[in-house]
Amino acid sequence: MARRFLRQKLGSAGTVIALALMAVIAALPLNAGQGFAGLDTLAMLVLAAGCVSRDAASGALQMILSRPIRRVEYLAGRYVGLLVSFVLFLALSVLVAVTLGQIVARIAPGPVPGTRSAADFGTICAGALLQGALLAVIVLFFSTFLRGWGDVLAVAVFAILFGSLRSLGQALRLPAMARAGELARDNLSPSVSWETVLHGQKILGEPTGRYILALVLYGTLAAVIFSRREFSYGQD
């Protein structure tokens, strides 16, 4: 299933061009020590969009499920495929960043500011992969019951909803509303300072706990919903 996902994504010229462009753009903030500047999130959304729903809509899912394979195996395969393709994107970004850095070092005289070590790139990529793994499972969860691009749309709507609830609560001086928005964002879409955790600090911190719970919860919910759904031709 993972190989099938990779064939689907890497076989699409549009997706490959979009990812390559993003990898080239990401090389600039990477070299400046600013991480992926949100391009990792965008790349994951491009990769994960419609990861299950499009298979269901095209009828491919029904064909796959006519074989003796468990539905959870199909989902796990899609998830692994997503992560592998995301790793390819991260590797390409670093490759472009390193190449650009070397070209600049040859052209510019004297020491080049902001040159990153392999360890720096490794930490940034590991952090991006861990955060991407959560985003992937959230999109996968929505993709098990929403149609078309509804999965990515749902992720965007939820992010806006949590943010606006918090801002609205602050603007209206309603601490309870602001707190509710904050709680929803922190628990349903948690973010971790991976650079800190990967340096061996605060591994047992609250954000790590939230992250692991969210990751497993979305995965389990996706498995339960997907295994109970009825798929028929021409309905999705």
Partner 1 sequence: MDKTEPPAIRESTPAPVSTVLRGSQSKVPALLFWLLGAALLFRIATGILGRGGKDSGAGLVRWQPGIAAPSAAAASHRPVLYDFTAAWCAPCHLLDSEGWSDSSIAALVNDSFVPARVVDRSREDGTNLAWVAEVQQRYSVSAFPTLVVADPSGRQLARMEGYMGKERLVAFLAEAKKKAGK
**216 forms part of the interface with partner 1 (CB under 8 A):** yes
Of 3 and 202, which CB lies nearer to partner 1 in the complex structure?
A: 202
**236 forms part of the interface with partner 1 (CB under 8 A):** no
**164 forms part of the interface with partner 1 (CB under 8 A):** no
**217 forms part of the interface with partner 1 (CB under 8 A):** yes
Q: Which of 170, 188, 232, 234 binds partner 1 (CB under 8 A)?
A: 170
Of 41 and 193, which CB lies nearer to partner 1 in the complex structure?
A: 193
- Supply the DSSP string of 23-85, one letter for each residue: HHHHHHHHHTT-TTTTHHHHHHHHHHTTTTHHHHHHTHHHHHHTSS--HHHHHHHHHHHHHHH
**Per-residue tokens: 74:** 């199909």
Between the CA of residue 183 and those of 111, 133, 197, what are the distances in Å? 46, 21, 21
Of 3 and 199, which CB lies nearer to partner 1 in the complex structure?
A: 199
- Angle (CA) 163-167-169 rounded to 5° is 120
Sites for partner 1 among residues 23-42 (CB under 8 A): 33-34
Contact assessment for residue 78 and residue 56, using Cβ atoms and an 8 Å cutoff: no
Q: Which of 72, 80, 84, 112 binds partner 1 (CB under 8 A)?
A: 72
111 SS3 class = coil
In 174-198, which positions are buried (b, 16+ CB within 10 angstroms) versus exposed (e)? Answer: eeebbeebbebbeebbbebebeebb
**215 forms part of the interface with partner 1 (CB under 8 A):** yes
**Per-residue tokens: 69:** 């394979």
Residue 70 CB partners (closer than 8 Å, separation 6+): none
**What's the min distance (Å) between Cβ of 35 and partner 1?**
8
Task: Please work out the total of residues on this chain that contact partner 1, with binding judged by CB under 8 A.
Answer: 39
**What's the min distance (Å) between Cβ of 121 and partner 1?**
15
**115 forms part of the interface with partner 1 (CB under 8 A):** no
Q: Which of 204, 232, 233, 235 binds partner 1 (CB under 8 A)?
A: 204
**What's the min distance (Å) between Cβ of 213 and partner 1?**
4
Residue ranges binding partner 1 (CB under 8 A) = 33-34, 65, 68-72, 166-167, 170, 173, 175, 178-179, 182, 193, 195-196, 199, 201-202, 204-206, 208-210, 212-213, 215-217, 219-220, 223-224, 227-228
